[in-house]
């Protein structure tokens, strides 16, 4: 049995329209197969927002007569755009594994993951000419994730999470979680948004793991935007000198004091859009892009100025709970390497000989390249 979203999401209030894409199919049988036999789907209503998926709240009734609500996220399997986009399976399966690991480590901080799966649906398109109409039926595979449904306070973008609540739970996750292999990485591919990360596999060294993640990002940029000689020159110094110097220093300090950096579980994509405050209180995180990493990586992304979690109070509060690693005086540079202009770090740790570095970007060009500098234009 398959019903389109307008047919199944029949109880949505008029002021909460169906999120795009309109007509997203939901296969009730495939979803109910994840529950005990005899479970009924009472309703499915749009819930939350997502840039790359369609989301809903499911209300199910078990054979015992008890009912429960679950959060559903669906993504199509053919949404790879050919450059940095991950397909639906990578998005959904990766998030399931990330949220499962996070829930096992911090069950009061993460909605309980239930299951993930897939179903197929056929869509029909009609191509018209002056004399004929030709219809084509195309099968599409969809992937879905089911988790515990937690009613949230509205407008997380306008009301960011309480810094103390968030950072207390986040630092507890970092202190108490442990890599199953004792190494850095993850057992599955996870995604930041719709971009797959190079985290699957294991590294004894954090410098090696982090360096591979950066290299993957550079490769994705080249595939999407074409070769940029200036970026390549800066990247070679970041890869060959800055990462070994900055990350290597913290590894050497840790080896001397405690035997090495301890890999801990990080959320991996923590901004206010992936954090919510429950109606009854309590902060929860969603949309994990996890790996086992050095804990400092988690807050590097908070440098992103257009997110509210960029506010200094969040980093300051986190450091109150979980202080920086040694050498402390290089904390800001290690934090910067996770999200910032790499030229600053090259100048400081691996400078080009005078006059040999590629031209720098102006502040405006860091947002939008000028026409004469835009390497993406043939």
* Cα–Cα distance, 354 to 358 (Å, whole number): 11
Using the predicted structure, report yes or no on whether residue 145 has a pLDDT greater than 90: yes
Q: Which DSSP string do the residues of 284-340 spell out, in sequence order?
A: EE-S---EEE-TTHHHHGGG-TTSGGGSHHHHHHHHHHSPPPSSGGGHHHHHHHHSS
Q: Phi and psi at residue 227, in whole multiples of 5°?
A: -70, 135
CATH code, residues 163-349: 3.90.1200.10
Per-residue pLDDT at 305? 82
User: 236 vs 13, which has greater pLDDT?
Assistant: 236
Which residues have CB under 8 Å from 81's CB, separation 6+?
none
* Cα–Cα distance, 76 to 67 (Å, whole number): 28
Per-residue pLDDT at 261? 86
Asked if residue 261 lies in contact with residue 251, where contact means CB atoms within 8 angstroms, the answer is yes
Range scoring the smallest mean pLDDT among 8-12, 197-201, 242-246: 8-12
Per-residue pLDDT at 139? 75
Over range 216-224, report the average pLDDT.
93
Q: What is the pLDDT of residues 47-96, one digit of tens each?
A: 877 777 889 999 999 999 999 999 999 998 764 544 445 689 999 999 99
Sign, CA dihedral 108-310-319-294, equals positive
Using the predicted structure, report yes or no on whether residue 159 has a pLDDT greater than 50: yes
Per-residue pLDDT at 239? 95
Give the Å distances, CA to CA, from 294 to 42, 239, 253, 321.
44, 18, 13, 15
Asked if residue 249 lies in contact with residue 221, where contact means CB atoms within 8 angstroms, the answer is no
Closest Cα partner for 270 from 127, 129, 169?
169
Per-residue pLDDT at 18? 33
> 54 forms bridges with which residues in the sheet?
74
Q: What is the pLDDT of residues 312-371, one digit of tens each?
A: 999 999 999 999 999 999 999 999 988 777 889 999 999 999 988 988 877 776 667 777
Tell me, rounded to whole angstroms, the distance of Cα 168 from its chain centroid: 21
pLDDT more than 70, % of the chain = 81
* Cα–Cα distance, 376 to 373 (Å, whole number): 9
Per-residue pLDDT at 25? 64
Using the predicted structure, report yes or no on whether residue 20 has a pLDDT greater than 70: no
* Cα–Cα distance, 162 to 177 (Å, whole number): 23
> 152 forms bridges with which residues in the sheet?
278
Place of tokens 């991996």: 268
Domain ranges (residues) in the chain: 7-76+112-148, 163-349
Range scoring the smallest mean pLDDT among 156-160, 214-218, 295-299: 156-160
- Vertex 262, ends 108 and 322: CA angle to 5°? 55
Using the predicted structure, report yes or no on whether residue 17 has a pLDDT greater than 90: no
* Cα–Cα distance, 170 to 102 (Å, whole number): 11
* Cα–Cα distance, 77 to 87 (Å, whole number): 5
* Cα–Cα distance, 364 to 341 (Å, whole number): 13
* Cα–Cα distance, 254 to 258 (Å, whole number): 6
């Amino acid at each position: 049995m398959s019903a389109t979203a307008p047919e199944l999401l029949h109880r949505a209030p008029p002021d909460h329209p169906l999120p795009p894409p309109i007509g997203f199919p939901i296969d009730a049988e495939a979803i109910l197969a994840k529950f005990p036999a005899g479970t009924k789907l009472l309703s499915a209503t749009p819930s939350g927002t997502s840039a790359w998926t369609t989301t809903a709240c499911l209300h199910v009734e078990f054979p015992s007569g008890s009912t429960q609500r679950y959060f559903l996220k669906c993504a199509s399997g053919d949404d790879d755009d050919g450059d940095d986009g991950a397909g639906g399976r990578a998005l959904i399966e990766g998030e399931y594994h990330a949220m499962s690991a996070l829930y096992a480590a911090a069950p009061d901080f993460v909605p309980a993951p239930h299951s993930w799966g897939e179903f197929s649906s056929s869509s029909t398109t009609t191509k018209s000419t002056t004399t004929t109409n030709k219809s084509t039926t195309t099968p599409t595979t969809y992937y879905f994730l089911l988790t515990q449904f937690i009613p949230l306070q509205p407008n997380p973008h306008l009301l960011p999470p309480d810094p103390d609540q968030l950072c207390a739970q986040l630092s507890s996750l970092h202190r108490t979680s442990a890599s199953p292999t004792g190494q850095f990485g993850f057992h599955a591919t996870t995604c930041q948004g719709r971009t797959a990360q190079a985290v699957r596999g294991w590294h004894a060294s954090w410098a090696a793991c982090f360096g591979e993640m950066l290299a993957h990002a550079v490769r994705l940029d080249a595939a999407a935007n074409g070769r940029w000689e200036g970026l390549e020159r800066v990247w070679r110094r970041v890869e060959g000198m800055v990462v070994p110097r900055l990350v290597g220093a913290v590894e050497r300090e840790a080896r001397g004091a405690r035997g090495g950096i301890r890999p801990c579980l990080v959320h991996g994509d923590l901004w206010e859009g992936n954090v919510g405050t429950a109606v009854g209180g309590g902060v929860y995180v969603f949309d994990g892009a996890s790996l086992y990493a050095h804990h400092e990586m988690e807050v590097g992304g908070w440098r992103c100025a257009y997110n509210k979690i960029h506010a200094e109070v969040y980093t300051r509060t986190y450091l109150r709970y979980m202080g920086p690693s040694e050498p402390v005086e290089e904390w800001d540079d290690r934090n910067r390497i996770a999200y910032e202009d790499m030229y600053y770090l090259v100048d400081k740790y691996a400078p080009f000989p005078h006059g040999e570095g590629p031209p720098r970007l102006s502040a405006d060009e860091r947002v939008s390249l000028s026409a004469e500098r835009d390497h993406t234009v043939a």
